[in-house]
Chain A
């Protein structure tokens, strides 16, 4: 069974340390057009956009929370849930697609038991898709954090995942 990730949301709720928020937002105060860079900074720090941090940004920048979520949910880059230590990005570019990326994605899903967009319960992996990382010569490609793995076939997947503890 593939997990939807709902269990994870309730299970893992460490309190969020909001003290780094002020210095992060400080340089952008009064510049509402800079909301995307602000969210990028916040996500860089927390790994995702925790609700309390969003509330903080809303207060500091005086942007209604609804507007803030409107922007954040529009862009694929912003994540609303905690993510794993290793982010697996399966390239969904055209060159990767016609050279078998769906089979690679399927094998990863089978091994991890999660669908794209979902984090494993042990917070080890998050499986994601990316439109194109532009390493088409190595298709099909996946990235694990910043490491590309190219010219993949389904049978190579297990060993790659095993190398990330």
Chain B
């Protein structure tokens, strides 16, 4: 028996902030005290709060330590593990709490969250199947084995689960179509491509709780009559692939995958296919082509994969998070429990990846129907550095921006659509006054333009033309007609493209024009980028009243464009300045201002 369990976040975010060297230091400190075997260390899944990583949670005390450094480990071992005293210094602190917070329920980031899909993340060792089973894992599958396939579909339908991969189609209905499609050979495919930049929920589920996906696939296979499943995972997620491989091996050893599973006569095996880096392969028909070893190009639907899918056989394709919800629905009483949460049209919870200019970046799971304001200000802790909120981008390259006026919008599929954004996969990127909305639209379009597979002319050529116009506007050569041209190009691309990529890629442009038209007009008419992003459209100036001559700016300037004596106000030599932005990052007085080009007047305004 272990005295305590120490869960160290071993997900990509925390590893990037150094959790591996923290673990090494922890082991060293334990060994020094000769107490290594009393403690169980798990490099486990993700508690979601990437911002304050690396994180260690000590159980059963349930103490949450964060922002850890290797040098903190000696104190943690000595004080907490040996001395039984909490190390205040390493607890969560922030402007949103009065005193250092001990555990989840006292940290504001967690109070509005509801852990369904992330129920095991950070609690279990994802590389040990017994831990998943101990928390009720695979019991929904054993229950499903006793149900008729049609009854399983009916339960999923009744629960009201909609696909979490973007389009929000009813999962139960999709299964029913595949079940009803004629054919003996059928497939289940898990879409783990997650190509949407700014989204990492699927990765986190795969890394933190891979058996939940396998259980979801097993249940799906049983429901539609499939005996084979594929997980299509992007190659950029090596840790997720590794954990999934281990999970598959262990499930095979336990007789949960393979022939005649649990003596039911049901056979099911799962294979992993690594994606090779093409965003369009997240689209279901392109994904199937890619598994078949072809160029990942979408094809027209119908026929839908439910009739004609992988290798021409009826196939159900579901997203990672969709599948992770399945065991919750199929467990005893699951349907009622699941559909209790959410709004009329959108049931259950949704996992969001919070990123951008927000204080608490990380992963959060919230009930559908929560407002955007609650996510950004309560869970997310508001905007970094106290700047003003400008917009939040939902749905990535297919989605749109939600401006401050709509902060009280409840999160569900339908209200987001109405606002010109989409639920998408769940990436929420927060923008502040220093984000240029024209540049953002240009950024997304340059992404989709590169990723367009080239099959449909409107998407291939239309995105190029739109990008040219946006480039021109951000470089200071926009003309007044540009906005109308963008509008009409967007309409034809949406109307005449075959797949979701083309049909949705103008959305980031349309939604920024809809809510931030003034910014576009300022770029075009006044040649000014108020956010200080489009380099041709602003100057930096140092506020002479506030500059105290600390020299922080002149020391980082790579082109020696800042002059001034120590303790005297500095000034920028405009002819030399490349607007690289190094100075503005460093200025402790916040006295470097963004001003229109050529305006010589004072900037104290």
Contact = CB atoms under 8 A, between A and B. Distances in A.
B463 interface: no
B277 interface: yes
B6 to A, nearest CB: 22
The A contact surface, by secondary structure, is helix
Contacts of A36: 273-274, 276, 290, 293
Interface string B37-66: 000000000000011010000000000000
Q: Which of B13, B293, B431 has the most CB of A within 10 A?
A: B293
A103 B435 CA distance: 14
Contact of B277 (A32, A77, A94, A99): A77
Nearest to B360: A137
A75 B357 contact: no
A132 B198 contact: yes
Interface string B191-202: 000111111100
A136 B278 contact: no
A96 to B, nearest CB: 8
A134 B203 contact: yes
A23 interface: no
> Which 6 pairs from chain A and chain B are nearest by CB?
A137-B50, A136-B355, A134-B200, A75-B276, A76-B277, A95-B355
Contacts of A139: 355-356, 361
A94 B443 contact: yes
Contacts of B361: 95, 136-137, 139
A98 B292 contact: no
Given A36-B276, A75-B276, A132-B236, 7 more contacts: A74-B296, A74-B297, A94-B356, A131-B197, A138-B13, A154-B580, A154-B582
Contacts of B502: none
Contacts of B426: none
Given A75-B278, A94-B429, A103 B443 contact: no
B17 interface: yes
A74 B582 CA distance: 37
A74 B276 CA distance: 9
Contacts of B197: 92-95, 97, 131-132
Nearest to A100: B581
Given A94-B197, A94-B443, A134 B293 contact: no
Contact of A153 (B15, B290, B294, B582): B582
Interface of B: 12-13, 15-17, 50-51, 53, 194-200, 203, 235-237, 273-279, 290-297, 311, 353, 355-357, 361-362, 393, 396, 427, 429, 431, 435, 440, 443-444, 447, 453, 556, 558, 580-582, 585-586
Contact of B236 (A39, A130, A150): A130
Given A33-B293, A135-B12, A150-B16, A93 B198 contact: yes
B556 A155 contact: yes
Given A136-B50, A137-B50, A35 B293 contact: yes
Contacts of A71: 293-295
A33 B426 CA distance: 32
A141 B361 CA distance: 14
B558 A94 contact: no
A139 B16 CA distance: 11
A148 interface: yes
A137 B444 CA distance: 20
B53 A106 contact: no
A71 B533 CA distance: 37
A4 to B, nearest CB: 19
Contacts of B277: 75-77, 131
Interface in A110-136: 130-136
Q: Which of B12, B195, B393, B435 has the most CB of A within 10 A?
A: B12
A58 interface: no
A70 B273 CA distance: 19
Contacts of A75: 275-278, 296
A76 B450 CA distance: 10
15 contacts: A37-B273, A75-B296, A92-B447, A94-B396, A94-B443, A98-B357, A103-B582, A106-B580, A131-B447, A132-B236, A135-B200, A138-B13, A141-B16, A148-B16, A154-B581
Interface string A81-108: 0000000000011110111100100110
